[in-house]
Chain A
Amino acid sequence: MANAARAYVDDKAKTPEIDYDAFVEMDSFNKLVKQKRGFLFTTTFLFMIAYILLPILAFTDALQAKAIGNITWVWIYSLSLFLMTIILCTLYVSRAQKFDKQAEAVIAEYQQKKGGR
């Protein structure tokens, strides 16, 4: 476990080995960041809208009306938010695996460029 402590001390001395600016000049890296942000922000925006509609609609007839028997729509809406959470979580994991592969390719490209110099 002493290694972990040493790695921490080393980290603090900044890491001159990686040329971060070179990454930012690479098209593949910028493409990855753009795609990732597009997906993350769009989805976040949508689920936040769906979520915040609950307390807004909860006090209107739309969700207070009965759906099946005595079960009102507000329960159904709430439980569909649970379902949405599970589905979006699964979606994230599958998208993130693609982003992982892209990121690996970006790092490989960077190393090749550095090695070629």
Chain B
Amino acid sequence: MNLVTIGFFVGIVGLTLLVTYIAAKRTSSASDFYTAGGGLTGWQNGLAIAGDYLSAAAFLGVSGAIALTGFDGFFFSVGYVVANLVLLYIVAEPMRNLGKYTLADMLTARFNEKRIRGIAATSTITIVILYMIAQLVGAGALIQMLFGIPYWTAVLIVGVMMTVYVLFGGMTATSWVQIIKACLLLFGTALISFLVFWKFDFNIMKMFDTAATVTEQGENFLIPGIKYTSTIDSVSMMIALVLGTAGLPHILMRFFTVKDAKTARKSITWTTWITAIFFSLTIFLGFGAAAFVGQAKILAANPGGNLAAPLLAEFLGGDVLLSFISAVAFATILAVVSGLVLTGASAISHDIYGEIMKNGKLTPKQQLVAARTGSISIAVLSILLALGAQTLNVSFLVSFAFCIGASANLPVILYTIYWKKFNSNGAIIAMATGLISCIILGALGPNVWNPEAGKAIFVGTPLVALSNPAIISVPLGFLAGWLGTILTQNKASEAKNAKIYNEIRVKANTGISVSDVSH
């Protein structure tokens, strides 16, 4: 580590701690802790959501994937961008109008039953843990490479930082860390892209011509087929990306940090523009790395291609740019894991402890204590799991998380908002089916089983050929919700259900609340 690296590193840590210090003074209730008191503005929340999208997997992973596999890497970019529309058109505003802190709050607005809250919290915790292990293991390996410190120290540094942000600053600090990181990442990406484009004389044709000749894959670099060869496998992955985003609890939770549906809408508008710009720039990062760093050097540095962007930065701007991009990557990891800790804590402390075990009868002060205890437990658990998973290739766990979001959460969210007859049995069955089918199909898939030793966790032939089972599990989730509902409906509960649905429909479509009619 040289002085410049240490400078950027200390700068980012200092800035985020300052933000946490200011946020801590404003965090005095459970509402402040979980949702920043609902006080974020449209652009702030939009940048924070964009920050959630732009994880280390998106920044380092996608640019590396494009550098190594050409167009195949760009599939992810398209998935992330179009996912904004699913959020905007069918999820964001009803979510804001119906929910309070968590996904379970929104579902229990319609079905006030503990078992619904329980299964929604289970799904949230499962997604958070899978996502977190992948992020922490990736973070540990990355920081080890970038700064030359041991894996366990790296995981501990990230673990302690994320706990400090969440514990003291709650959602306010978590959001601002995310906002700072999103700005730094956008700036860094735009700068590298500009330098790459300069090298190509600001000529798009020249850039593509170079890409078609510079790699061993030749012109195949510019068409799909290097990594993905099967149509059905790609369709399945694309379904998981576009629908899973709208079912990820740490993204859904962000809609509760704004005051109303209009602001939720504004947030997503910001997110759409930012992600569209960022993911367009991944072409420059990927092509630039392939042309100026070379695939051989990228592979030698990291077989997954994760160091393509930092290596490109080093080529373009020497040590200074490398240090800056490394620091940005570090901030990216910190921001995303903090959001995950907070979301996990909301499911443990608010849903399971506060609402299920204590019947929602905690005093505001007890709620805050519970929230902080929950944050520490989820952080410690994830750190231990990440330390144990060091030698495993766990990056695929993120795609499991998307699969569960799309198969267990999204069907129930849509039915709850839009289907009059939907009942609580249907909700339970849909969530359980989506969750279990993703885990079982995933556990039998090629990410876990590979005939060659060292390529996956176990040696053997995968029973399911799909690397992401969403194409099976998403329809299963929807089907289970429908069947569970029509097979268990009865006249007595139907009348009550219809009355509650009227309330849901009015709230979701008008955003009406007590404050609107009290005057």
Q: Interface on A for B, CB 8 Å cutoff?
A: 1-2, 4-12, 15, 17-18, 20-21, 23-24, 29, 32-33, 36-37, 40, 43-44, 47-48, 51-52, 54-56, 58-59, 63-64, 68-72, 74-75, 78-79, 81-82, 84-86, 88-90, 92-93, 96, 100, 103, 106-107, 110-111, 114
Q: In the complex, are the beta carbons of A86 and B234 less than 8 A apart?
A: no
Enumerate B245-297 residues with CB–CB distance to A below 8 Å.
262, 265, 268-269, 272-273, 276, 279-280, 283
Taking a contact as CB atoms closer than 8 A, the residue among B30, B225, B268, B509 that contacts A59 in the complex is: B225
Task: Check A58/B509 contact, CB under 8 A, given A1-B31, A17-B514, A51-B82.
Answer: no
Q: In the complex, are the beta carbons of B276 and A85 less than 8 A apart?
A: yes
Q: In the complex, are the beta carbons of B78 and A71 less than 8 A apart?
A: no
Q: Which residues does chain A contribute within 8 Å of B505, judged by CB atoms?
A: 20, 23-24, 33
Q: Which residues does chain A contribute within 8 Å of B77, judged by CB atoms?
A: 78
> B493 at interface (Cβ–Cβ under 8 A)?
no
Task: Check A70/B208 contact, CB under 8 A, given A1-B28, A1-B32, A86-B276.
Answer: yes
**Nearest B residue to A79, CB-CB:** B280
Complex-state Cα separation, A75 to B211, whole angstroms:
13
Q: In the complex, are the beta carbons of B74 and A20 less than 8 A apart?
A: no
Taking a contact as CB atoms closer than 8 A, the residue among B78, B84, B279, B502 that contacts A23 in the complex is: B502
Task: Check A52/B235 contact, CB under 8 A, given A1-B32, A40-B89.
Answer: yes
Task: Check A47/B238 contact, CB under 8 A, given A72-B222, A89-B88.
Answer: no
Could you tell me how many residues of chain B have their Cβ less than 8 Å away from some Cβ of chain A? Answer: 72
Task: Check A56/B231 contact, CB under 8 A, given A2-B28, A107-B510.
Answer: yes
> B100 at interface (Cβ–Cβ under 8 A)?
yes
Q: In the complex, are the beta carbons of B231 and A8 less than 8 A apart?
A: no
Task: Check A71/B269 contact, CB under 8 A, given A4-B29, A4-B37, A89-B84.
Answer: no
Task: Check A89/B272 contact, CB under 8 A, given A4-B31, A44-B89, A82-B279.
Answer: yes
A116 CB to closest chain B CB (Å) equals: 14
Complex-state Cα separation, A107 to B514, whole angstroms:
12
Q: Interface on B for A, CB 8 Å cutoff?
A: 26, 28-32, 37-38, 71, 74-75, 77-78, 81-82, 84-86, 88-90, 93, 100, 204-205, 208-209, 211-212, 219, 222-225, 228-229, 231, 234-235, 237-239, 242, 262, 265, 268-269, 272-273, 276, 279-280, 283, 360, 364, 367, 418, 499, 502-503, 505-507, 509-514, 516-518
Q: Which residues does chain A contribute within 8 Å of B503, judged by CB atoms?
A: 20
Since A90-B269, A93-B265 are in contact, a sample of 18 more A-B pairs with Cβ atoms closer than 8 Å, ordered by chain A residue number, is A4-B37, A5-B31, A11-B514, A17-B514, A20-B502, A51-B238, A51-B242, A52-B239, A58-B71, A58-B75, A69-B208, A70-B222, A74-B222, A78-B77, A81-B81, A85-B82, A85-B84, A89-B269
Q: In the complex, are the beta carbons of A17 and B518 less than 8 A apart?
A: yes
A26 CB to closest chain B CB (Å) equals: 10
Q: Which residues does chain B contribute within 8 Å of A54, judged by CB atoms?
A: 75, 78, 238
Q: Which residues does chain B contribute within 8 Å of A85, judged by CB atoms?
A: 81-82, 84-85, 272, 276
Among B85, B234, B507, which residue has the most Cβ atoms of chain A within 10 A? Answer: B85
Q: In the complex, are the beta carbons of A12 and B360 less than 8 A apart?
A: yes
Complex-state Cα separation, A33 to B499, whole angstroms:
17
Complex-state Cα separation, A112 to B518, whole angstroms:
13
Complex-state Cα separation, A23 to B382, whole angstroms:
47
**Nearest B residue to A73, CB-CB:** B223
Complex-state Cα separation, A5 to B31, whole angstroms:
6
Complex-state Cα separation, A89 to B235, whole angstroms:
24
**Nearest A residue to B224, CB-CB:** A58
**Nearest B residue to A59, CB-CB:** B231
Q: In the complex, are the beta carbons of B518 and A82 less than 8 A apart?
A: no
Task: Check A29/B509 contact, CB under 8 A, given A21-B499, A82-B280.
Answer: yes
- Supply 7 A–B pairs (Cβ within 8 Å), ascending by A: A1-B31, A2-B28, A18-B512, A29-B510, A33-B509, A55-B235, A75-B74
Name the prevailing secondary structure of the B interface residues: helix
Task: Check A89/B211 contact, CB under 8 A, given A2-B364, A4-B38, A81-B78.
Answer: no
Q: Which residues does chain B contribute within 8 Å of A10, judged by CB atoms?
A: 514
Q: Which residues does chain A contribute within 8 Å of B89, judged by CB atoms?
A: 40, 43-44, 88, 92
**Nearest A residue to B78, CB-CB:** A78
**Nearest A residue to B225, CB-CB:** A59
B518 CB to closest chain A CB (Å) equals: 7
Ordered nearest first, which 5 A-B pairs have the shortest CB separation? Answer: A4-B31, A55-B234, A5-B364, A5-B29, A20-B503
Complex-state Cα separation, A57 to B283, whole angstroms:
20
Q: Which residues does chain A contribute within 8 Å of B514, judged by CB atoms?
A: 10-11, 15, 17-18
Q: In the complex, are the beta carbons of B30 and A89 less than 8 A apart?
A: no
Q: In the complex, are the beta carbons of B272 and A86 less than 8 A apart?
A: yes
Q: Which residues does chain B contribute within 8 Å of A48, judged by CB atoms?
A: 242
Q: In the complex, are the beta carbons of B223 and A69 less than 8 A apart?
A: no
Q: In the complex, are the beta carbons of A86 and B238 less than 8 A apart?
A: no
A104 CB to closest chain B CB (Å) equals: 8
Complex-state Cα separation, A110 to B283, whole angstroms:
53
Q: Which residues does chain A contribute within 8 Å of B84, judged by CB atoms?
A: 85, 89
Complex-state Cα separation, A100 to B211, whole angstroms:
48
Q: In the complex, are the beta carbons of A20 and B37 less than 8 A apart?
A: no
B201 CB to closest chain A CB (Å) equals: 14
Q: In the complex, are the beta carbons of A8 and B30 less than 8 A apart?
A: yes
Q: In the complex, are the beta carbons of B37 and A1 less than 8 A apart?
A: yes
Q: Which residues does chain B contribute within 8 Å of A37, judged by CB atoms?
A: 418
Taking a contact as CB atoms closer than 8 A, the residue among A29, A84, A92 that contacts B88 in the complex is: A92
